Structure formats: structure tokens, C-alpha cells
Amino acid sequence: MSQRLLLDTHVFLWWRGEPDRLKEEARRAIGEAEVVFVSVASAWEAAIKMSIGRLRLPGDMESGVKDSGSEKLPITLSHAERVIRLPHHHRDPFDRMLVAQAITEDLTLVSHDRRLRVYEAQMLWA
């Protein structure tokens, strides 16, 4: 059965540049998914990290998303409003937005960050 996936920022970066860092199950699911989304929140997070020297990318996120065959997932007002109802398990605003998007859009969030397991989102561990 095909899945609709949303990649956490680090998962997208690993998928593009270091796929061996992902578990086999995650690599297979991404490769076979009906659709793979990359959130605008991930591009925003990457841009912030690049601007402070904590991340280097070989190209821009827009091209990376397109070249990977993934789809951009914009941030909508309903996503922002869903963040309000999330429990405050941790404070990372980008992770909270990804969780809200996964719940709102009925997507499986692919992440290596086990801190996200406390949320009600469908998860696939990378």
C-alpha cells in the first residue's frame, strides 16, 4: 500500500545526500511512496541554519525538492492553528509545524527524532 509521506528536514537532507544514514524501511517507503512532501518549514529551517553557518547545501532547497521528485507542502492557516492544539512536549517550532502538517494532512511523518513519538502523528522512524 502506498503512503503519503512528509519528510523531516534532516530526513530530506539525508535522502538527498546520505541515504545510507536512513533505515532500510525508511528508504524503501520514500522510494515507493505515492507522494513525498517536503514542507516549506524545512526550507525555512535550512535557510536559518545556512545563514548562521550550521548547514551547507550543494544547491538550494527548491531545486533539491524538485530534483528528488518530492512535492512542496506550503504552510497554511489551518496548519498554524493546529500547532496551537499540540501539547508542549518540546519547543522546536519547525518540528511542531511538521507534526501539525502531518496530522492536518493525514501524512506519515518520517523522522529520526524520537522526541516526536509523544505526538499523535503517524510516524515512520528513519
Q: Virtual CA dihedral for 17, 109, 86, 62, nearest 10 degrees? A: 40
Q: Are 107 and 37 in contact (CB under 8 A)?
A: yes
29-75 tens-digit pLDDT: 999 999 999 999 999 999 999 999 998 887 888 999 999 999 999 99
For the chain, list the domains and their CATH numbers: 4-125 (3.40.50.1010)
The pTM assigned to this predicted structure is 0.94
**Residue 2 has what pLDDT?**
58
- Find, among 123, 112, 113, 115, the residue nearest to 6 by Cα: 123
Residue 98 binned pLDDT confidence (cut-offs 50, 70, 90): very high
